[in-house]
Amino acid sequence: MYNKLIDHIKQNVPGASIEKQIIEAYFTPKIFEKKEHFLMQGYTCTRAGFVIEGCYRNYMLSTEGKEVNTGFGFENWWLGDVSSFVNQTPTLINTQFLESTTLLTITAKNHFDLLERSQCFREYTNKLRSKATTASVLKLSELSESARTRYKVLLEKYPKIQQRISQKQIASFLQITPEALCRLRKFKISE
Amino acid sequence: MYNKLIDHIKQNVPGASIEKQIIEAYFTPKIFEKKEHFLMQGYTCTRAGFVIEGCYRNYMLSTEGKEVNTGFGFENWWLGDVSSFVNQTPTLINTQFLESTTLLTITAKNHFDLLERSQCFREYTNKLRSKATTASVLKLSELSESARTRYKVLLEKYPKIQQRISQKQIASFLQITPEALCRLRKFKISE
DNA sequence: GAATAGTCTTGATGTAGATCAACGATTTTG
DNA sequence: CAAAATCGTTGATCTACATCAAGACTATTC
């Protein structure tokens, strides 16, 4: 199980020497059931998690209280809100599992310690952070496209997403109704 | 001029001792004319800048080539794309001045050096980074609202924005046409 | 494994905002 | 300062998507 994390570090920091023993000691496995929350708006993010198996969605609440999905995560993704985690302030993000999910978790304090102790974990974290910034900026510009275009882009990026994520959840991510997505699919597929 | 930067650091890292001399030595003043670009898609962000006076917009290009404003900045704001700046990779962001603007600029290399040499600049940078993450996540959820609501929220957040930013630019930020914004204002104001 | 709840689909109808066009007011440029 | 470009406004029309409703199919739950 820990090897999935170590492999992921290797992929992102190629050539670095991995302090395998040190890193592993800091993580605790945890299993969450489908529909459970990892993080909820208003709470402070005390743990980060690395997905060994399963998937989740991030969503926010609009001012009218409607849930809006902001992204999905699968194996080898991290969950937790960086801003809330680093500053120990309340988060605006909700994270809910869409399948029964196995994580390796680490507390904020331990994460901080590990960054001090492990050079390669520091590089790994930096790498992921800058990747995440790019991704979130990208999404903003995509929202100016029509729902049809955004759906097309989504499918190109994650062709397998339909096997894992329900249409209702995908619709919320595209910020359209499930009905609209259903109609979109009919035309999209035949194109 | 340098005092504006030092004051901003003081505000964000209260109580810290400011290495004034060291910090100031790393920055170079620069003046940009209205409509000049600080950053363009495809280029690498080699400098960051702190706005002493003036304002700018950030925009991205949609796949159809349309400009979409992602934000505005004024006095005491930083400009530059963190991801491009830190990793020295091409950016996706365009930054253009909307007024003649005076900056204090710093190169990527010097920024890196300064982070090593100054404890308070390190804390200051961390503080700003985590703030920025929160802000960009916020905007995503706001986009699920109607243009009317987004406009209202914008005015509540930055009541003075209409004095500085043209309707065309605000419309691009709200992701509606200038015509639509014009009509919105008529009702909005009378409400 | 029967009852219940949630999901997907399709149809009818409503609406926010886009697009196109035109004109005065303002700003920019030579 | 005159010419040209850009901006803000208003009207007419069009369209992508929302909303509401209702039936079939699929998962949960006890």
pLDDT tens across the length of chain B (191 residues): 899 999 999 999 988 888 899 999 999 999 999 999 999 999 999 999 999 999 999 999 887 788 999 899 999 999 998 888 888 889 989 999 999 999 999 999 999 899 889 989 988 988 888 777 777 776 767 777 888 888 998 999 888 899 899 999 999 999 999 999 999 988 755 54
The verdict on A129 and A147 lying in the same domain is no
The residue-averaged pLDDT of A50-78 equals 91
Tell which of A135, A157, A175 closes a domain.
Answer: A135
Structural domain of residue B169, as residue ranges?
A: 143-191
The verdict on B52 and B120 lying in the same domain is yes
Q: Which nucleotides of chain C have an atom under 7 angstroms from any protein CB?
A: 6-12, 16-21, 28-29
At A191, the pLDDT band (50, 70, 90 cuts) reads very low
Euclidean distance between CA atoms B100 and B35, whole angstroms: 8
Instruction: Report the 10 Å Cβ neighbour count for A171.
Output: 20
At A140, the pLDDT band (50, 70, 90 cuts) reads low
B87-143 tens-digit pLDDT: 888 998 999 999 999 999 999 999 989 988 998 998 898 888 877 777 777 676 777
- The pLDDT of residue A188 is 57
The verdict on A16 and A100 lying in the same domain is yes
The verdict on A56 and A117 lying in the same domain is yes
The verdict on B169 and B93 lying in the same domain is no
Q: The domain spanning residue A17 has which CATH number?
A: 2.60.120.10
A184 touches strand D (CB under 7 A): yes
The verdict on B21 and B38 lying in the same domain is yes
Q: State the Cα angle at A162 between B136 and A159, rounded to 5°.
A: 75
Euclidean distance between CA atoms A171 and A68, whole angstroms: 9
Contact B40, B94 (CB under 8 A): yes
The residue-averaged pLDDT of A52-79 equals 90
At A62, the pLDDT band (50, 70, 90 cuts) reads confident
Euclidean distance between CA atoms A187 and A178, whole angstroms: 15
Edge-first strand listing for the sheet containing B56-61: B37-39, B94-97, B56-61, B67-73
The verdict on B90 and B21 lying in the same domain is yes
The residue-averaged pLDDT of A68-94 equals 91
Euclidean distance between CA atoms B10 and B94, whole angstroms: 29
The torsion angles phi and psi of B57, rounded to 5 degrees, stand at -125, 150
- The pLDDT of residue B90 is 93
Beta-carbon contacts of residue A159 (< 8 Å; ≥ 6 apart): none
Tokens of B3: 């005092």
Euclidean distance between CA atoms B170 and B176, whole angstroms: 9
The torsion angles phi and psi of A38, rounded to 5 degrees, stand at -95, -30
The verdict on B182 and B150 lying in the same domain is yes
The residue-averaged pLDDT of A160-169 equals 93
* Backbone dihedral region for residue A42 (phi beyond 0: left; psi -120 to 50: alpha; all else: beta): left
Which residue places its CA closest to the C1' of nucleotide C9?
Answer: A182
Task: Give the position of tokens 């359209």.
Answer: A176
A88, closest residue in chain B (CA to CA): B130
The verdict on B132 and B155 lying in the same domain is no
**How many domains in chain B?**
2
The verdict on B53 and B121 lying in the same domain is yes
In terms of residues, how long is chain A? 191
At A78, the pLDDT band (50, 70, 90 cuts) reads very high
At A187, the pLDDT band (50, 70, 90 cuts) reads confident
The verdict on B39 and B86 lying in the same domain is yes
Task: Give the position of tokens 């991801």.
Answer: B83
Its sign, for the CA torsion A129, B71, B107, B53, is: negative
- The pLDDT of residue B188 is 58
Name the percent of chain A lying above pLDDT 90: 61
Beta-carbon separation of A145 and B87 below 8 A: no
The verdict on B136 and B158 lying in the same domain is no
Tokens of A111: 């994460």
Task: Give the position of tokens 């209260």.
Answer: B14
